[in-house]
Amino acid sequence: MVTPVATISVVPNLPEPLRRLRELAYNLRWAWDYETIALFRRLDRDLWEETGHNPVLMLGRISQERLNAACQDASFMAHLQRVCQSFDDYMQAKDTWYERTYGHLPRPRIAYFSMEFGLTESLQTYSGGLGVLSGDHLKSASDLGLPLIGVGLLYQEGYFRQYLNADGYQQESYPINDWANLPVELQCDANGEPIKVSVDLPGRKLYAVIWKVQVGRVPLYLLDSNIPDNPAPEDRNLTDRLYGGDRRTRIRQEILMGIGGIRALEALGLRPSICHMNEGHSAFLALERIRQLMEEFQLSFNEAREIAAAGHIFTTHTPVPAGLERFGFDLIDEHFTEYYQSLGLTREQFLDLGRENMGDYDLFSMPVLALRLSSGANAVAKLHGRVSRKLWQWLYPGVPENEIPIGSITNGIHVPTWISREMETLLDRYLNPAWRDEEANPETWEDITHVPDAELWRTHARRRERLVAFARQQLRRQLEKRGALQSDIERADEVLNPDALTIGFARRFATYKRATLLFRDLDRLSKILNNPERPVQIIFAGKAHPHDTAGKELIRQIMSVARSEEFRHSLVFLEDYDINIARYLVQGVDVWLNTPRRPKEASGTSGMKVIYNGGLNCSILDGWWDEAYDRSVGWAIGNGEEYPESEADHQDYIESQALYNLLETEIIPLFYDRGRDGLPREWIAKMKNSMRILAPHFNTRRMVQEYTEQYYIPAYKRWMAMTTPNLEEGVAYANWLHRLEAAWAQVSVRDVQVPVRTINVGKDMEVVAHVALGELKPDDVRVQLYYGPVDQHGNITLEARAMDMQPLNQNGDGTYQFAAKVAYNTSGNRGVSVRVLPKHELLPTSFLPGIITWAR
């Protein structure tokens, strides 16, 4: 192997009239703009496919003759001019949603940290749903004009590419990404030298360069450690693979993303006011922001902690305790001993920031760290919010489960990325053009009822035909790579039926998602799929984590069934699931199937993508479907029952039977019950209901607007209040909180005076509480009357309400009187209690860990 004395960057030689093609290629707006994609396809359709839909690589490979010919093609040049005009209008727009809504405020800088970003199939910086959601978040932030920046890691090998061996068992390959031929740009200083940042590893520094991916108006900065400045191969290889390596690799990746990410923004002159941690992987960023404040303003850890936390938002995506990111204390000691000393903390104080008890031992939990150091936290669906509040209730002792300060913002999808060109054209014809910019407005979708049934059906049927053709091509390629018999390869062109009811199942192959639930009764499944009058077919896709042998076994089982003579025409598994395969599936299937064990699905977004393409959902009532479902828009498997782990096999039996019954008695008859015109009118009515009712809600425009309204802007206002014109207010708040925590043990409810034990409906009752506050004053606390129905055990249920009590006077014994009146509008047994909470105008929530006192 020869080491070069210099490296030369060879770039496409674009003729002057085509020079803006490079600008278009390096801005991923093309990934959700069909006109720009059509422009690149027009240059060379075959090359567009060969390069994996990568316009940068395409421009590097296309012949000079073809470029010169394009310059002389008046039609192509007119197309280029239209695309450039649209691009300029988009990039320079001044009337974005954000400007209209919050343009009167000083402009914050919001940094969105995620371990993965799924933006386009040619940029392998994602593994699945979390990454695609992150990518869609950036795209909608761009559309809305948010001042947002993405931060993550750039993986030399990305996530693995999947192929199946002759036995149907998943194998992994890791092709190397060539940054010179991808839409990423190295960030350099004024002298043209790469900007580098470093983080501390045991006995050395780890260096990284910064690459930028431009996503419309939003820049995404990705750190890369594969540079000569890191002599150790393990350091250079740190950013090789997404979710690869052992626990030591993972903690170092997360140190680089969290601490290194903050330092990268600092080096770029882009210090954020708000940091959004998308999952706990990036939680170390909170420590670095605290360290910055301490160093620059000579603050104590507690002062810097409270000021920094004002600008931290944490989103949890994990409803299953086993899926949380945790590290042993040995790894924390190895990597953070000097760091926590620089924060002025002891080892135990530092460990307490992330400590989670696992029964016989403790671990350092990244979600716990994020929750403790953030002012706002949310789950990603309403059901997931309830699950998360239960999961993290131990962090907030004494706080009723429904008041744990973890909200929920249901995920969505970026509609322009996932809607088919055909459906887009149809909606342009019949809906208000505002549907493209106001997809979160319910009125926009009311006109779907005016779309002729025949046109909607033909549009969807064309996408099903394209899906079948695509699946056949993919299957043929899979068989050729595997060295299959020529006869088997040729038979790939006979699988599937473009007119048959088509079901899609594609996702990460974790065992709780139960990909093989349909296979519990193969005889019954065979009768369903092979009915000559009413055929049904299923297309599977998805990857199992390289270390998940149980997930790999599910794929092997599906392949075994798909190869049998009985099922080979109607059941297909597509290898190497990625954004491109997902696009064909969600745009072409009739039914999207989802079968997780409730409540283990945080949200899920794949089923949302079919909504906008005329597909229907059939799912367990879990994740987003729990709040989306009603009988007019799709089908539910079961009624939301939850089973203990010990009854998993029984649960699978019950829910597989429910799924078979749904298919046999509802889904298949509805699809094939046609009128004289050949149209399934009732099915089409369900398609329209799904689009009309669900489309306004399950999109990232609505989602990002909610993040802005409920988290970003409130956090920014608190951050500004604490730091403008200096940190005086923030320091005062931190000191108040420190004084509150020190004095809270003195707080008690001495007496609660309830005047009667029986009261008539509609009558008022005044409750008086005598509260000892010690060193605190009434202005420091909220004393609340807590009242509601009681259960069979005599406890107040979670349907209770809380009402602030008003201070009356101070008693001679140093206690204070508080009073409130309550009226009951219905009869029954009701419980009454009193609680004391902290109160301050800069508190994001009154529910702080360990600070709540109840009457006894």
* pLDDT tens digits along 788-812: 999 988 899 988 999 999 999 888 7
- How many angstroms separate the Cα of 410 from the Cα of each of 117, 320, 608, 701? 19, 18, 11, 12
DSSP 3-state percent helix, strand, coil across the chain (nearest 5): 45, 20, 35
Phi/psi at 591 (5° precision)? -135, 135
Band of the pLDDT at 179, cuts 50, 70, 90?
very high
Strands 571-574 and 204-215: unpaired
CB 367 within 8 A of CB 821: no
Per-position b or e across 247-282, b if 16+ CB within 10 A of its CB:
ebbbbbbbbbbbbbbbbbbebbeeebbbbbbbbbbb
* pLDDT tens digits along 412-433: 999 999 999 999 999 999 999 9
CA distance 157 to 186: 17
CA distance 605 to 126: 15
Residue with tokens 């009454």: 832
CA distance 113 to 221: 10
The count of C-alpha atoms lying within 13 angstroms of the C-alpha of 805, restricted to the half-sphere facing its C-beta, is 32
Band of the pLDDT at 244, cuts 50, 70, 90?
confident
pLDDT at position 3: 66
pTM of the model: 0.96
Residues in the chain: 856
Print the SS3 string covering 454-489. HHHHHHHHHHHHHHHHHHHHHHHHHHHHHCCCHHHH
The closest of 493, 476, 495, 494 to 484, measured between CA atoms, is: 476
CA distance 585 to 463: 9
Tell me what the mean pLDDT of segment 213-217 comes to.
98
CA distance 304 to 289: 8
AA identity, residue 514: R
Whether residue 512 is predicted with pLDDT greater than 80 in this model: the reply is yes
* pLDDT tens digits along 481-495: 888 889 888 889 999
Burial (0-12, 13-18, 19+ Cβ within 10 Å), 807: middle
Q: What percent of the chain has pLDDT over 90?
A: 91
CB 831 within 8 A of CB 796: yes
CB 719 within 8 A of CB 310: yes
Band of the pLDDT at 814, cuts 50, 70, 90?
confident
pLDDT at position 9: 64
The closest of 241, 292, 243 to 265, measured between CA atoms, is: 292
Segment among 381-385, 552-556, 765-769, 821-825 with least mean pLDDT: 821-825
pLDDT at position 756: 85
The closest of 614, 566, 567 to 467, measured between CA atoms, is: 614
* pLDDT tens digits along 737-753: 999 999 999 999 999 99
The closest of 775, 738, 801, 682 to 304, measured between CA atoms, is: 738
AA identity, residue 613: N
Q: What angle do CA 752, 754, 760 make, to 5 degrees?
A: 155
Whether residue 11 is predicted with pLDDT greater than 70 in this model: the reply is no
The dihedral over CA atoms of 269, 271, 275, 281, expressed in degrees to the nearest 10, equals: 60
Per-position b or e across 716-740, b if 16+ CB within 10 A of its CB:
bebbbebbeeebebbbebbebbeeb
Tell me what the mean pLDDT of segment 318-331 comes to.
92
3-state class (DSSP) for residue 69: helix
Burial (0-12, 13-18, 19+ Cβ within 10 Å), 830: middle
Average pLDDT along the chain: 95
Residue 679: Cβ within 10 Å count: 16
Whether residue 323 is predicted with pLDDT greater than 90 in this model: the reply is no
Segment among 12-21, 46-55, 341-350 with least mean pLDDT: 12-21
Whether residue 518 is predicted with pLDDT greater than 70 in this model: the reply is yes
CA distance 774 to 813: 11
pLDDT at position 812: 78
- How many angstroms separate the Cα of 699 from the Cα of each of 281, 435, 609, 691? 25, 12, 9, 12
Strand partners, 278: 315
CB 834 within 8 A of CB 752: yes
Q: What is the DSSP letter of 618?
A: E
pLDDT at position 761: 87
pLDDT at position 742: 95
Question: Helix 329-342 vs helix 284-297: angle between axes, to the nearest 10 degrees?
Answer: 20
pLDDT at position 542: 97
The dihedral over CA atoms of 560, 563, 566, 572, expressed in degrees to the nearest 10, equals: 100
Q: Which residues contact 345 (CB under 8 A, 6 or more apart)?
A: 301
CA distance 42 to 342: 58
Q: Which residues contact 65 (CB under 8 A, 6 or more apart)?
A: none
pLDDT at position 728: 96
pLDDT at position 484: 85
CA distance 80 to 78: 5
Q: Which residues contact 566 (CB under 8 A, 6 or more apart)?
A: 526, 530
The count of C-alpha atoms lying within 13 angstroms of the C-alpha of 11, restricted to the half-sphere facing its C-beta, is 11
* pLDDT tens digits along 98-137: 999 999 999 999 999 999 999 999 999 999 899 999 999 9
* pLDDT tens digits along 32-59: 999 999 999 999 999 999 999 999 999 9
Residue with tokens 């249920």: 797
pLDDT at position 296: 97
Burial (0-12, 13-18, 19+ Cβ within 10 Å), 494: exposed
State the maximum Cα–Cα separation within the chain, in Å, rounded to a whole number: 97
